[in-house]
Chains A and B, each alone.
Chain A
Amino acid sequence: MPKPMFLSPARHGFRFNWAGRIGLAIVLLWGVIALVGPLITPYPVGEIVDWDYFGPMSQKFLLGTDYLGRDMLSRILMGARYTVGISLAAVTIACSVGVVLGMIAAVLGGIFDMGLSRLLDAINGIPGLLFGLVVVAAVGSSLTVLILTLAAIYMPGAYRFARSLAVNVNTMDFVTVARARGERTPYLIAREIFPNILGPVLADLGVRFVFIVLVLSGLSFLGLGVQPPNADWGALVRENIGALSFGAPAVVFPSLAIASLTISMNLFIDNMPTRIRDRSA
């Protein structure tokens, strides 16, 4: 079937089921909230607005109040910025470093591949949370440290994953053709290999994002994280966990926020848009 020439095929012909759409929509919603959070919070995030604590949901405080009597809705809206932001930054760093190293290792092979793989395997062996604790003990906790630590925890995994994909792609004839043409490593990595591992890498990025959200909340649980008055969702759950026994909104909603983000991300990854081969429809 003839196609209008101005239409780029990449923009068309994707199949995307409802589960994936819902997932993406929620993830995007949180993304938007992360961006505009400060503009839509009903109360300042640190302000004690109620003498009562662990207050119930009410007209005034839609999601109740926390252990100090602060508005939960405002805190969750602001927390999105940290949870989403930190996780996104960390996962981006982890995946970009891991993927680039993985592709280089796959293309160069030999000693570089061997050495790097062993070293990162070794790092992988150290439990993430403990690694985080040691790092924070060593250099203190700041946003940068947090992001870099999380990135460091997840980089070896991303490396392993990207490397195994890239090794497969690297043996494909089109890479050989490019080599035979005289192309250098940067071109091979950027144009021949990367586009072909992009799909799985994005899916992997999503999975890692979920893990980072969870590890971040784990770190918050152990007392490391964002500076007050702000708090990421994990910290919100932690500081209000005393209210779990009454099922107070202060602990339920941040938990729901975490779950909604991670579940949606997983839904999206499991139902990524697939390109439709049948183009005649």
Chain B
Amino acid sequence: MPDASQPLVTVHDLHIGAVTDAGRQVEIIKGVSFDIRPGEFVALIGESGSGKTTIALSLMGYCRPGCSITGGTVTLDGRDVTAMTEAARAELRGTEVSYVPQSAAAAFNPSKRIMDQVVEITGIHRLMPRAEAEAKAVSLFRALALPQPETIGRRYPHQVSGGQLQRLAAAMALIGDPKLVIFDEPTTALDVTTQIEVLRAFKAVVQKGGVSGVYVSHDLAVVAQIADRIIVLKGGEIQEENTTPKILTEARHPYTKALLAAVDPVPHQPRSIAGLQPRPPILEAIGLHAGYGTFQNAEPAIKVLKNVNFRLERGRNLGVIGESGSGKSTLARAVSGILPPYRGAVLLDGHELDGDLKERRKEDLRRMQIVFQLADTALNPAQTVGSILARPLKFYHGLRGAARDARVDALLDMVHLPAALKYRLPRELSGGQKQRVNLARALAAEPELILCDEITSALDTVVAAAILKLLEELQSELNLSYMFISHDLSTVEAICDDVLVMYRGEVVEELPAARMSAEAAHPYSKLLISSVPQLDPGWLDSLDQDPELLAAFSRR
């Protein structure tokens, strides 16, 4: 064991530069200094672009292509990794310091068996014989609560679930007995119920081994459960650094405060619908079934949605919540006709829509718009913002020329974007701006109903909160209704009146958003609700979930 009084890692005045494709030298890390003591768990937190991953990787002496360490030192266990040769750094990697990637699904080689990849470090560094390494891996699998620890290594990455892969990645990182493990947003891609398992497993293994950790995340609530100390980053600089409890309770920096605020959004205030004459619900689904694959006997091979029913009243918002694979996105596709349901009906404002959008009337299409999760792929990269917004104006309203241009400006204004942005291409916008444009395009149709499919999931918490606020604003201005699909309970709480909880293609429960925690009756709903991390450092440890229930529902 190293001397506990000496820091394991010392980062001193670290500068990392990057060359942009215009040939311009930019500094992405601007003089960062911090220490990590042996056995300590430090969190680097910040939004995307804050430099948290870059700093974490620099601890391994590694910079992504195009970047380079331009100043300062990174001392690991007394040795300056910035001054080493690449070969010497390679010696460190896996043995002194190792890495748990953000997406284990991408970081596992799809064509190699898991065991080969987990024990590869021992082979590269000749740490132990293969058999011994495999035995060690199996014990790590067991410690990480992986199912079938003896045999899981024989599978290929695609044959195990995301949560398991993430834990396997941890096993891969730990097999070389490193002194420092870097966790790079290891739970961001996971469902909440899975996240809990993974977090627990990490915490258990790391604490037992006495290794130090760096935990990179944008989620304060998650970090609160695992980190001793939190470093808040923004724009490549440290904003605030303190122990976890102090950050949570005595945040000084405005940015830290904003982060904290975003974790607990203001609950939605249901709008008054009194005074309006009774009208049919804006959207109603009756016995909806949908699926993929080849049809046999009028039923698809892979059935996803099973008998989904709901009503969405005009001016209200319906949340749909569930984990990946629950069919919530399929529901949006079935409702919008992108994936025609093979049974059941969708009623818009009381009249039945054809299942297939090709058969729907233009007017009906206009009234119900859909907004997708990833603004990156939802906006045509080859078109300017202006022409993206102009198309629905022309298509639905026949607007041309100056009238159309004026309307584009108005739409941008509506989503709080400057009019000059209309000359930009999507890739020149930030994530939040893209999602606003995405929204503005839906608004251009002047819809009555917008299907929002996870529209805040890919955004940083602060940015997501702003989008939610915008949605509220727009609703009151334009008399919209939303069907809001999300895996994030707090988001749904923040905007919806009612919530459908979906599990394996079925609606297990329908609840009023405001009283979800209190009224949830279905075990799955309860599990889901209890799995949302809280800003309390003791939350994870005190969380009392029925392991059988967890096993039954998380099935991964």
Contacts and interface: CB of A to CB of B under 8 A. Distances in A.
Assess A/B contact in the complex (Cβ within 8 A).
yes
Interface of A: 2-3, 5, 7-9, 13, 15, 172-174, 176-183, 191-192, 195-196, 198, 274, 276-281
B300 to A, nearest CB: 15
Contacts of B395: 181-183
Closest 8 CB pairs of A and B: A195-B382, A278-B20, A173-B378, A281-B22, A281-B24, A173-B372, A278-B22, A182-B365
Contacts of A274: 21
B377 A172 contact: yes
Given A176-B372, A182-B395, A195-B383, A3 B21 contact: no
Given A181-B445, A191-B383, A278-B26, 17 more contacts: A173-B372, A177-B370, A177-B441, A180-B365, A182-B360, A182-B362, A191-B391, A192-B380, A276-B20, A276-B21, A276-B22, A277-B21, A277-B427, A278-B21, A279-B428, A281-B20, A281-B22
Nearest to A9: B423
A181 B384 CA distance: 18
A177 B365 CA distance: 11
B381 interface: yes
Given A174-B377, A278-B22, A180 B384 contact: no
Interface in B96-118: none
A56 to B, nearest CB: 47
B357 A173 contact: no
A2 B428 CA distance: 13
Given A8-B423, A180-B357, A181-B445, A173 B22 contact: no
B429 to A, nearest CB: 11
A173 to B, nearest CB: 4
A196 B381 contact: yes
A26 B26 CA distance: 35
Interface string B310-340: 0000000000000000000000000011100
B374 interface: yes
Nearest to A174: B380
Contacts of B441: 177
B124 interface: no
Contacts of B420: 2-3, 5
Contacts of B445: 181
Given A15-B22, A195-B380, A281-B20, A180 B423 contact: no
A277 B336 CA distance: 35
Given A2-B420, A179-B338, A279-B428, A173 B382 contact: no
A10 B382 CA distance: 10
A176 B374 CA distance: 12
A192 B379 CA distance: 10
Q: Which one of B22, B26, B395, B427 has the greatest number of beta carbons of chain A within 10 Å?
A: B22
Interface in B15-41: 20-24, 26
Contact of A176 (B338, B391, B424): B338
A179 B357 contact: yes
Contacts, number: 86
Interface residues of B, number: 38
Given A3-B423, A281-B22, A182 B357 contact: yes
Contacts of B360: 182
B425 interface: yes
B336 A180 contact: yes
A5 B423 contact: yes
Interface string B360-399: 1010010001101110011111111000000110011000
B369 to A, nearest CB: 8
24 contacts: A2-B420, A5-B420, A9-B423, A9-B428, A13-B22, A173-B374, A174-B379, A177-B370, A177-B441, A180-B338, A180-B357, A181-B392, A181-B395, A182-B395, A192-B380, A195-B382, A196-B381, A196-B382, A198-B382, A276-B21, A278-B21, A279-B22, A279-B428, A281-B20
Contacts of A198: 382
Nearest to B373: A173
Contacts of B425: 9
B431 to A, nearest CB: 14
Nearest to B364: A182
Contacts of B370: 177, 180
Contacts of B377: 172-174
A109 B448 CA distance: 33
B382 to A, nearest CB: 3
A9 B338 contact: no
A181 B362 CA distance: 8
Interface string B333-357: 0001110000000000000000001
A183 B362 CA distance: 9
Of the candidates A7, A15, A277, A278, the one having the most CB atoms from chain B within 10 angstroms of its own CB is: A278
Contacts of A196: 380-382
A5 B419 CA distance: 10
Nearest to A7: B423
Contacts of B26: 278
Contacts of A281: 20, 22-24
Nearest to B371: A177
Nearest to B378: A173
A178 B425 CA distance: 17
Contacts of B374: 173
B413 to A, nearest CB: 16
Nearest to B365: A182
A280 B384 CA distance: 18
A149 B448 CA distance: 55
A240 to B, nearest CB: 46
A74 to B, nearest CB: 44
Contacts of A279: 22, 428
B396 to A, nearest CB: 8
Nearest to A171: B377
Nearest to A6: B423
A198 B381 CA distance: 12
A3 B382 CA distance: 19
A121 to B, nearest CB: 23
B372 A181 contact: no
A198 B392 CA distance: 23
Contacts of B381: 196
A195 B24 CA distance: 28
Contact of A180 (B22, B337, B391): B337
- With most chain B CB atoms within 10 A of its CB, the pick from A8, A180, A195 is A180
Q: Tell me which of A15, A181, A191, A279 has the highest count of chain B C-beta atoms within 10 A of its own C-beta.
A: A181
Nearest to A195: B382
A13 B21 CA distance: 10
A93 B423 CA distance: 33
Interface string B457-490: 0000000000000000000000000000000000
Nearest to B421: A3
A8 B372 CA distance: 28
Interface string B434-450: 00000001000100000
A178 to B, nearest CB: 8
Nearest to A184: B358
A195 B379 CA distance: 13
Given A173-B378, A195-B380, A181 B365 contact: yes
